[in-house]
Amino acid sequence: MNAVMKDPDLRQALHALAERLPEDATWRDVEEYARLREAAAEGKQAVRRGEIASEEEVRRVFAKFGVHP
């Protein structure tokens, strides 16, 4: 589900981002930041709803792909 999230501090966040971007930043960098910010917000909502995997579930999936943390 890709719900559009409203951020009341969007303008403030964009100004802060503009100040942190390197001189050679591209629009792609800005897009990536926006995607990461939205993914983090969606992840926080999933945690609040209890939609998280147990450690054992994560280990089982990792093992399936040959990764053993």
Q: Is the pLDDT of residue 1 over 60?
A: no
Residue type, 31: E
DSSP string for the chain: --PPPP-TTHHHHHHHHHHHS-TT--HHHHHHHHHHHHHHHHHHHHHHTT----HHHHHHHHHHTT---
pLDDT at res. 2: 44
Is 69 a member of any domain? no
- The structural domain count of the chain equals 1
Is 5 a member of any domain? no
Write out pLDDT tens, residues 5-56.
567 788 898 999 999 999 999 999 999 999 999 999 999 999 999 999 999 9
Q: What is the pTM of this model?
A: 0.61
Is 44 a member of any domain? yes
Residue 43 token pair:
């992840």
Domain range for 38: 10-64
